[in-house]
Amino acid sequence: MEERDIPGVSDIDLICFPNVKPPINYKGEFENIIAHYWVAETDHVIGFGGFWSFYDEADIITIGVLPDFRRYKVGSRILLAMLNECIKLDRKYITLEVRVSNIAAQKMYEKFGFVNQGIRKGYYLDNREDAVIMSIDDVTQTKELLKEIQKEISNDV
């Protein structure tokens, strides 16, 4: 993510996560040394994702794609870029939380090798919805899977 992407990313964040109050401050995230963000763009930003990285771990903080661009593998491209960066940075354990009702995102994470590790009760403050905790124990073990997904994405262009 470049500094010039911050307004576009903030706009998509509001569209994808209207119930998160206050919304994430992406100017702060841009300056946060443990944060790593990616954007997908045409002539404007259409999707973004980010993770926080510490020790040998990475926590996927967010990923979102503009509604008109969903189901075109934009989310996959962003997630792939993030997981490859985790491998490069030697961050093996990858974790995230996702709403129990968010089947689309859970399916995407499963496709990338994330496994359901249990539930955080009432994790989301807006409606006290539970979160599913998903993780990959060792992302280096998913290299072949990531290559296959890369191939699938390339064939899709």
Ligand X SMILES: CC(C)(COP(=O)(O)OP(=O)(O)OC[C@H]1O[C@@H](n2cnc3c(N)ncnc32)[C@H](O)[C@@H]1OP(=O)(O)O)[C@@H](O)C(=O)NCCC(=O)NCCS
Active site residues: 97, 109
Q: How far is the CB of 50 from ligand X (least distance, A)?
A: 11
Please say which residue, 15 or 89, places its beta carbon nearer to ligand X.
15
Exactly one of 71, 88, 121, 128 binds ligand X (CB under 6 A); which one?
Answer: 71
Q: How far is the CB of 67 from ligand X (least distance, A)?
A: 8
- Please report whether residue 63 would count as binding ligand X according to CB under 6 A: yes
Q: Phi/psi of residue 69, each to 5°? A: -110, 5
- Please report whether residue 119 would count as binding ligand X according to CB under 6 A: no
**Residue ranges binding ligand X (CB under 6 A):** 16, 63-65, 70-76, 98, 102-105, 107-108, 111
